[in-house]
Structure 1
Amino acid sequence: MSGIALVRKPGPRIAEGIVTHVEREPVDRERALVQHDAYVAALAGNGWRPAYAELADELPDAPFVEDAVVVAGRLAVLTRPGAPERRPEVESVARAVRELGLKAAEIAPPGTLDGGDVLQAGPTVYVGRSARTNDDGIAQLAALLPDRQVVSVELTGVLHLKSAVTALPDGTLIGDPRHVDLPGLLVPLEEAGAHVVLLGGDRVLMAASAPRTAAMLEKRGFNVTTVDISEFEKLEGCVTCLSVLIGG
């Protein structure tokens, strides 16, 4: 096994999730459940054992577990989401990571930090300064990760840093230069092609909505698994936000 994938099933209010940079569309909860199961199965098929945070049916955005915690080694940094209505998601995620044996630390007021703004790429941790993550939150994260280089990144027109850029197994950053200014970006062929989950070795997980980018990455020697997450994409979700990979 590569490690553990922390996930959470969508609740009955998922269609009420926050949207910021897209027009609201109807979300089919039953289809979202089927897609979530397929997403978890794809992780499990690549060696990541699923661990479920407890259901949070009253919290529409709860399946986007990435925003509630940043895991670096055996340290779980419990975030303080920038949207106040999302802060209750953190408590149950905190219980889950403690049950998994991780050491926990917390982002304290007035800091705000969404996990979707945190991109770990080798020794560097890029953190998006966004509507959800402020300078105090970035400073607190940097203090908790003294052995890493924490780099603040300005964003334009996207919710989170990882809405715009992620990292490939060889360390290359793949992202949209319209939203983020970082050197050496590999530009994806679809917007969703900027979203990559590292599964270990040369394996990556991507959304089915980026087939041309998936083909491009396969030509570069990566082993790509794709999943349909269209119901979550309606809520500005992507493959990265639906899990937190621990260990491996």
Structure 2
Amino acid sequence: MIDDAGVSELMGYTVLVAVVSIASVALLAGSMGTLSASEKQLEFQGSAASLRSFGDLMAGIIESNNTFDTAFEMAVPSGYVLAVRDRHDDFRSMSIYSNSAPLAYLPMGSVALDSPFRSVIFEGGAIISNDTGLVSSEISPCVRAAALPSGRKALYFTIVSISADTYIGHSGPETMYARCVSIKPLAFHVPAGSRAVIYVRSGDLPAWEEAFERCGLAVTYENGAVKASSTEVSDIYITYAEAEIHE
């Protein structure tokens, strides 16, 4: 026969076991969540490293004007897709004006490793990562400013556009072939008193905003694009290269 004290002690022991069990389950669930988050972060870092390597390869191909196929191998992480978009199939582009007069329209295209919440993308020669809304440049857009004896400045761009049969690759090993198709030097003069205006349409606008601000341009957002402008720019020089990508 168990008296009241025995019943109380037994109930206390049962409650203690239940609390310890719940705490263990919660601790295990928290650990699994931490491990899953760490794994996803490692996959994201791997994606960024892969696209940085791709960016380095593209820079070498353009610099050497290599018209022969160069193979690039990567492992697309689990949960990601490799999205290759032709410059005419993609919204990413740069438009340049002197006041309202158009000077150039430069479609860019893109190569991206995308997941539902994270992405790393090659666009226009830049490598831009987006980690759940945190945008950063792995390789900055190639936009430079130089002072001129006149007191105004020149802007220098290197823009790489993608020519491709647009396609989607899934998780696993992927081999892409890249070559330089053309390199076009472009030069424009902006008369004194006129305003140079550059619009960039991109999936990750803050990276371009930062690049333009480094050049001393005024930056705003307009109709879903970054708008950079200045009355101090007198000359714009562009190296516009087309690179072909295929499987």
- Work out whether the TM-score is over 0.5: no
Task: Give the structure-1-normalised TM-score.
Answer: 0.22
Task: Give the structure-2-normalised TM-score.
Answer: 0.22
Structure label with greater radius of gyration: 2
